[in-house]
């Protein structure tokens, strides 16, 4: 076992080394920050800790590019791989995550926009704004609301401290609904820092694309992924399990038996397999060529929503966003009791979910077949869940109309 694996398996040692690392990085950043002047017309963006060009930071960035008001602004995107996300306009610079260049970007930018917790050593100055977009309406309990100790990499107290400290530096926190606002207040312990009123409740900018994308773009997206236009597309998005941490990264064995699914449900559909971004290891799906496509590394999940006819998920918050499309969803909770009791509890019960809740492969195949048969006949596939889906959207997505980025930007600037 290499040293890195040993450290990850010993919480006390991990905590000491993390503190030493952060102290060193904090000192480096503070030196740079102290000598930099803030540029009010420079904005730095980061999504999923530099892993992708996506989510609400992308939507806000694209809106600002299109708005004449911001024609004299400059932008920085922070990526782990600066060559993996296509080309950008001249007023946008790409810097490597956790590099000296990224330190200078944060030290100089008047506005920081991200969707996940920043490195602890980034402390905004009094003339800087930190906009925390977060990355979804929570179904699983997060942050200071977590009580189960099933997380293999952080203790409950560590999680509590991390989210409480994050709240202290946030200027504004983005929310799409009353429900999410109430959960963010508790999850980030906003009351302890007197920041209950820092929330912008204007919808999720990242969902604008679900309302503003035309059929030709959807057709082109399918062509990009080599998906036949006549195929029904099933998007499978399982979340990570905290108890599946292997020491060298997150691992996940697919709970779905793809061979059985194909045998029982037919071959006129293709499955897009999308793992949670925490999961580092990829899977070899060569044996499922033409039937299961691994899209875990695809930058923007919105594209996958748009080309999909059906969603299969478990506890991932993707279903809140997908619900805006008013398409059928299946909730495969094969380990419901273990997940709820040993890893993470939920903010509400499964009875509120706008689709069948399933715990066995056989039931999954039966419910999927019902939806497929309806779609093959020209139906929506929603079957008896159309009313439940409308009620779900009214509660969790009341503001989504394709203009959330515009409203959010007006609040920020």
With a pLDDT cut of 90, the percent of the chain lying above it is 77
The size of the chain, in residues, is 413
Q: How far apart are the C-alpha atoms of 124 and 147, rounded to whole Å?
A: 30
242 pLDDT band, cuts 50/70/90, is low
pLDDT at 19 over 90: no
Which one, of 88, 116, 84, 95, lies nearest residue 44 by Cα? Answer: 95
Kindly report the pTM of this predicted structure.
0.92
With a pLDDT cut of 70, the percent of the chain lying above it is 90
Q: What is the pLDDT of residue 149?
A: 59
pLDDT at 413 over 50: yes
Domains defined along the chain, listed by start: 35-208+404-412 (3.40.50.11820), 214-396 (3.40.50.12580)
Q: How far apart are the C-alpha atoms of 200 and 78, rounded to whole Å?
A: 24
Query: Mean pLDDT, the chain, as a whole number?
Result: 91
Which DSSP symbol is given to 151? Answer: -
Average the pLDDT over 94-112 and give the result: 98
Q: How far apart are the C-alpha atoms of 20 and 22, rounded to whole Å?
A: 6
Which one, of 114, 82, 86, 113, lies nearest residue 99 by Cα? Answer: 82
Average the pLDDT over 184-194 and give the result: 96
Which one, of 245, 206, 243, 256, lies nearest residue 402 by Cα? Answer: 206
pLDDT at 251 over 90: no
pLDDT by residue (tens digit) across 36-76?
A: 999 999 999 999 999 999 999 999 999 999 999 999 999 99
Q: What is the pLDDT of residue 339?
A: 84
pLDDT by residue (tens digit) across 198-215?
A: 999 999 999 999 999 999
Structure tokens at 191: 């009351």
Q: What is the pLDDT of residue 265?
A: 94
pLDDT at 280 over 50: no
Q: How far apart are the C-alpha atoms of 289 and 358, rounded to whole Å?
A: 26
Half-sphere exposure of 308 (CA within 13 A, CB side): 31
């Amino acid at each position: 076992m290499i040293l890195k694996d040993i450290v990850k398996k010993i919480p006390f040692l991990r905590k000491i080394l993390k503190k030493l690392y952060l102290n060193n990085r904090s000192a480096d950043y503070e030196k740079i920050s102290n000598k930099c002047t803030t540029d009010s017309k420079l904005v730095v963006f980061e999504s999923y800790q530099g892993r992708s060009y996506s989510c609400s930071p992308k939507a806000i960035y694209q809106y600002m590019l299109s708005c004449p008001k911001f024609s004299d602004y400059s932008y920085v995107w922070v990526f782990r791989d600066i060559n993996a996300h296509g080309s950008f306009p001249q007023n946008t610079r790409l810097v490597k995550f956790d590099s000296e260049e990224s330190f200078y970007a944060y030290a100089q930018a008047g506005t920081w926009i991200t969707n996940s917790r920043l490195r602890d050593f980034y402390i905004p100055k009094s003339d800087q704004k930190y906009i925390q977009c977060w990355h979804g309406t929570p179904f699983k309990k997060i942050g200071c609301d977590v009580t189960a100790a099933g997380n293999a990499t952080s203790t409950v107290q560590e999680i509590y401290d991390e989210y409480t400290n994050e709240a202290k530096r946030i200027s504004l926190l983005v929310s799409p609904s009353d429900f999410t606002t109430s959960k963010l207040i508790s999850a980030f312990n906003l009351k302890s820092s007197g920041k209950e009123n820092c929330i912008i409740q204007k919808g999720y900018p990242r969902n604008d694309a679900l309302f503003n994308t035309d059929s030709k773009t959807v057709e082109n997206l399918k062509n990009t992924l080599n998906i036949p236009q006549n195929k029904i597309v099933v998007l499978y998005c399982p979340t990570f399990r905290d108890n599946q941490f292997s020491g060298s990264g997150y691992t996940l064995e697919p709970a779905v038996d793809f061979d059985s699914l194909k045998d029982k449900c037919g071959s006129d559909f293709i499955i897009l397999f999308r793992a949670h971004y925490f999961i580092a290891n990829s899977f070899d799906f060569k044996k499922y060529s033409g039937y299961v496509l691994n899209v875990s590394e695809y930058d923007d999940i919105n594209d996958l929503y748009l080309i999909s006819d059906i969603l299969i998920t478990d506890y991932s918050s993707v279903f809140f966003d997908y619900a805006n499309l008013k398409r059928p969803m299946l909730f495969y909770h094969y380990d419901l009791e273990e997940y709820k009791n040993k890893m993470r509890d939920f903010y509400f019960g499964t009875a509120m979910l706008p689709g069948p809740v399933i715990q066995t492969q056989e039931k999954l195949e039966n419910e999927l077949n019902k939806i497929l048969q309806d779609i093959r006949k020209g139906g929506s596939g929603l079957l008896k869940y159309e009313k439940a889906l409308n009620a779900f959207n009214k509660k969790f997505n009341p503001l989504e109309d394709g203009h959330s980025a515009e409203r959010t930007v007006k609040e920020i600037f």
